[in-house]
Amino acid sequence: MPFDINKIREDFPILHRTVEGAPLVYLDNAATSQTPRCVVDNISRMYYEHKANVHRGVHTLSQEATDLMEEARRKVKCFINATSTEEIIFTRGTTEGINLVASSFGDSLCNGDEIIVTVMEHHSNIVPWQLLQRNRRIVLRVIPIDANGDLMLDAYEDLFTDNTRFVALTHVSNVLGTVNPVKEMIAIAHRHGVPVLIDGAQAVAHRPVDVTDLDADFYAFSAHKMYGPVGVGILYGKRRFLENLPPYQGGGEMIGQVSFEKTTFADLPYKFEAGTPDYVGIAAMTAAIDYINGIGLDNIAAHEQELLKAATSRLMEIPGMKIFGTSAGKEGVISFLVDGIHHYDMGMLLDKMGVAVRTGHHCAQPLMHTLGIEGTVRASFAAYNTMEEVERFTAAVARAAAMFHK
């Protein structure tokens, strides 16, 4: 389909509001993307027409809700090319998916076992592994980056020892925009007999993801970063791992039989889905995936690359500009600082001009420490952003910089 930016923008009413008297320029998409009308309409229909608990009732409403939720599971399976719906687990987001794996896989770890992560990880892919250190006394080993923000693959290979048990790494850095060579990195780990989890939160809305081609053992992502509802996520896991892992939580839905003497667990994927799920949001994720497919991920990627290139060029014309993350082929994320201006001050001034960006450490404090800074200003693009917005954003940064450099 042709890429019609005006038509796309009409699907997002929030983009037509003003902030501080100026038209909104929303560039905080790496934190959360906006939601098109079709997804919100789907949520409304679920509440108004199909609200009933899933998998537990023989009545019509329950069956309808169950069918809509399971259709979402089938849609996700196709979206990431998993081999079975049984490999698709619904969570509350990427964070819960990673915690699930860390907790369940962590049951098999013991003193001295090693987990490899990268220095660019979001806290969600650091802290869960650190929590295991208290009881399991595992060791985290960290892959460094070079001056461009690319992972050092030679150093990665050197980190493997006889004690390496797991690799957990991000597909795309939420700070640097670096697209990691995860297929190659998975292959390296598998040569050592080590499974791999990929944090795909920053990837799935911006590029096609094929978990079968990647040969990923686990892949986690969130709906709210891909034009979907908040509070819904996906954990993909290869069946052979999921069958052997213990449940993450206990309760209703995930059981086979319960007695006071013994409990057996449900088959996949329900073994990992305790309690009443957010079936309304899960069903709405179907609309988000359909929306992305309707535009085309290749079209989205090409458009965002044009925005990234133009914004980078214009920003570098500003005196004192420093961009963090210059990897070739990076995603549409720009983290920057201007000499003498605190990232928070820059963010506040941009907001006064109607431009929404993220400031701070972006839940990546170890990376900030490596870069020798406290935080950055981050602009991140989505399918609905325009070249006009790039011009307004870069002009606003230049104006804010001039205020400090008089």
CATH of the domain at 365: 3.90.1150.10
Q: Are residues 396 and 273 in the same domain?
A: no
Q: CA 152 to CA 295: how far, in whole Å?
A: 35
The pTM (predicted TM-score) of the whole model is 0.96
Give yes or no: residues 80 and 227 share one domain: yes
Residue 121 located in a structural domain: yes
The CA–CA distances, whole Å, from 390 to 27, 64, 240, 381 equal 9, 44, 46, 9
- The answer to whether 267 and 245 have CB atoms below 8 angstroms apart is no
Establish if 65 belongs to a structural domain. Answer: yes
Task: Tell whether 278 and 340 lie within a shared domain.
Answer: no
Query: Per the domain annotation, does 108 fall within a domain?
Result: yes
Residues 242, 138 share a domain? yes
Residues 203 and 237 in one domain: yes
Tell whether 301 and 377 lie within a shared domain: yes
For residue 406, what pLDDT is reported?
Answer: 65
Give dist(CA 196, CA 167) in Å, integer: 5
Domain housing 145? 40-293
Indicate whether 217 and 137 sit together in one domain.
Answer: yes
77, 117: one domain:
yes
For residue 35, is it within any domain?
A: no
In a domain, 386, yes or no: yes
Q: Are residues 228 and 344 in the same domain?
A: no
Residue 193 region, left (φ>0) first, then alpha (ψ -120 to 50), else beta? left
Residue 399 lies in a domain: yes
Among residues 235, 269, 293, which one ends one of the domains? 293
* pLDDT score recorded for residue 1: 57
Give the domain CATH number at 60: 3.40.640.10
203 and 331 share a domain? no
- What pLDDT sits at residue 275? 87
Of the three residues 273, 293, 313, the one that is the final residue of a domain is 293
**pLDDT score recorded for residue 291:** 97
In a shared domain, residues 250 and 375: no
**What pLDDT sits at residue 166?**
98
Domain tally, the chain: 2
Task: Tell me the average confidence (pLDDT) per consecutive run of 10 residues in the chain, 406 residues long.
Answer: 89 96 97 98 96 87 94 98 97 97 92 96 97 89 98 98 98 98 98 98 98 98 98 97 89 75 79 90 97 96 97 98 97 97 97 98 98 98 98 98 85
Catalytic residue annotation: 363
> Which residues on adjacent β-strands are paired with residue 199?
170, 220
Q: Is residue 269 reached through a cis peptide bond, with omega within 30 degrees of 0 on the bond before it?
A: yes
Is the distance from CB of 220 to CB of 272 less than 8 angstroms? no
User: Rounded to whole angstroms, how far apart are CA atoms 239 and 218?
Assistant: 10
Query: Which domain-ending residue is among 250, 272, 293?
Result: 293
CB 360 within 8 A of CB 272: no
> Would 96 be classed as within a structural domain?
yes
262/314 same-domain check: no
Quick one: pLDDT at residue 93?
98
The 3-state DSSP composition of the chain as helix, strand, coil percent (nearest 5) reads: 45, 20, 40
Q: Is residue 267 part of a domain?
A: yes
Give me the pLDDT at residue 256, please: 74
